[in-house]
């Protein structure tokens, strides 16, 4: 019998055990081996563990081993004796090589994290149910425009359920990283990963767009079911309304994501999403209400002159659509909030060593 010990201080443990055995006049043999392993003959696990504890030597493995004399000889006349014996010392399975870091690895991680928890499904299902109920109630009164009814955005609510749900999903995306530090190598390394940040922005935007589309489709089907198909008409500015709706949901999702990354808590991300219509929008409305002595007429033409590449003529419509979107109080407030959160995130989280 022997005692197998694995420790990073194999030489020190061997010297201590040998010295104590000589002092106690005991027959103990210590055989140092490779990879930090020591084999001790003539002692027990309890004695070796006590010696290592008293001298502060960390031990990773401590076990009794009994030598194997090989397989027993079969009795004469046994037909199994002529069969080749299987190897008793099999090699361990090969070590699986870890894949190299790449641009898709953070994206796969974020997708697995988002789809691996029930919170994402519960939030999206709750948003769809609340939006469908609000759409039916708003269309019943008759005084709500069709786009607001499809978006389930009554005047009394600061944000539609879809935008609020997207903001909660964004806040949970970074909030879970700090709530469960085992998801990452360390608490401080989470926000310093550029690849992880870009992956979270991409996945959160995808969930926000999916949620916005499902809300509109579900609302249209509910209105068609309750009030007939004649209520559903495609407005002339459907493209601009769709772009504004997508920008609102994605902006709220990113606001919750960045705020949770800055303050390292989910509640801060949700509070930032709610602060946009409650605090920032009134301030923007006051700015827009002030009299202006200058006009932005001819903005597309001046932007074309500043561009070093030739913009097509169709770009005027896109520039004007973006300008109208930003000119809205909610759009301007959301753009201002996102700009402030991006600056705060870069200042607080990326000051140290940045990794992909």
pLDDT by residue (tens digit) across 328-338?
Answer: 667 667 777 88
Please tell me what DSSP assigns to residue 295: -
Residue 144: both structure tokens together:
């709500």
pLDDT computed for residue 133 by the predictor:
93
Question: What is the value of pTM for the model shown?
Answer: 0.62
The yes-or-no verdict on residue 165 having pLDDT over 90 is: yes
Chain Cα centroid distance, residue 86? 48
Percent of the chain topping pLDDT 70: 69
Residue 323 has pLDDT above 90, yes or no: no
| Average pLDDT, integer, range 72-93 | 53
What interhelical angle do 238-263 and 161-179 show, nearest 10? 30
CA-wise closest residue to 49 among 66, 35, 36, 64 = 64
The tokens for 316 are 């005027």
Q: Among 35-39, 62-66, 104-108, 210-214, name the most confident range.
A: 210-214
- Which of the residue ranges 30-34, 46-50, 127-131 has the most confident prediction, judged by mean pLDDT? 127-131
Distance CA 249, CA 330 (A): 12
* Nearest C-alpha neighbor of 199 from the set 114, 86, 287: 114
- Identify which of 223, 42, 82 has the alpha carbon closest to the alpha carbon of residue 144: 223
253, 205 Cβ separation under 8 angstroms: yes
pLDDT band (50, 70, 90) for residue 11: confident
What pLDDT does residue 262 have?
Answer: 85
pLDDT, tens only, 245-298: 998 899 999 999 988 888 888 888 899 888 887 777 777 666 666 665 565 555
Q: Domains in the chain, please, with CATH?
A: 2-67 (3.30.70), 120-291+305-349 (no CATH)
- Is the CB of residue 270 less than 8 Å from the CB of residue 168? yes
What pLDDT score does 293 carry?
Answer: 53
Backbone angles phi, psi at 62, to 5 degrees: -145, 110
The better pLDDT of the pair 87, 274 is held by 274
- Write the CA distances from 143 to 137, 148, 149, 230, 342, integer angstroms: 11, 10, 10, 16, 39
pLDDT level of residue 185 (50, 70, 90 thresholds): very low
């Amino acid at each position: 019998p022997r005692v197998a010990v694995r420790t990073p201080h194999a030489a020190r443990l061997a010297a201590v055990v040998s010295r104590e055995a000589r002092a106690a006049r005991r027959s103990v043999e210590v055989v140092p081996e490779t990879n930090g392993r020591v084999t001790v003959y003539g002692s027990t696990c309890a004695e070796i563990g006590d010696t290592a504890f008293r001298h502060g030597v960390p031990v990773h493995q401590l076990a009794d081993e009994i030598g194997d004399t090989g397989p027993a000889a079969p009795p004469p006349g046994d037909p199994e004796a002529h069969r080749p014996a299987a190897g008793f010392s099999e090699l361990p399975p090969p070590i699986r090589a870890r894949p190299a870091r790449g641009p898709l690895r953070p994206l796969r991680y974020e997708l697995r994290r988002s789809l691996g928890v029930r919170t994402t499904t519960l939030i999206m299902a709750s948003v769809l149910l609340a939006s469908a109920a609000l759409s039916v109630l708003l269309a019943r009164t008759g005084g709500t425009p069709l786009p607001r009814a499809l978006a389930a955005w009554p005047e009394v609510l600061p944000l539609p359920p879809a935008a609020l749900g997207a903001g909660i999903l964004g806040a949970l995306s970074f909030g879970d990283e700090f709530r469960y530090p085992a998801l990452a190598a360390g608490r401080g390394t989470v926000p310093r990963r550029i690849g992880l940040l870009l992956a979270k922005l991409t996945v959160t935007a995808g969930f926000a767009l999916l949620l916005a589309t499902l809300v509109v489709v579900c609302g249209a089907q509910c209105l068609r079911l309750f009030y007939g198909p004649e209520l559903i008409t495609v407005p002339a500015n459907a493209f601009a309304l769709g772009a504004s709706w997508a920008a609102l949901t994605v902006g709220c999702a990113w606001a919750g994501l960045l705020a949770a990354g800055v303050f390292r808590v989910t509640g801060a991300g949700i509070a930032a999403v709610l602060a946009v219509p409650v605090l920032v929008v009134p301030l923007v409305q006051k700015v827009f209400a002030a009299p202006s002595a200058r006009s932005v007429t001819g903005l597309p033409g001046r932007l074309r002159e500043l561009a070093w590449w030739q913009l097509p003529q169709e770009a005027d419509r896109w520039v004007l659509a973006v300008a109208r979107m930003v000119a809205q109080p909610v759009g301007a407030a959301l753009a201002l909030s996102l700009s402030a959160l991006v600056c705060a995130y870069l200042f607080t989280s990326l000051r140290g060593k940045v990794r992909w």
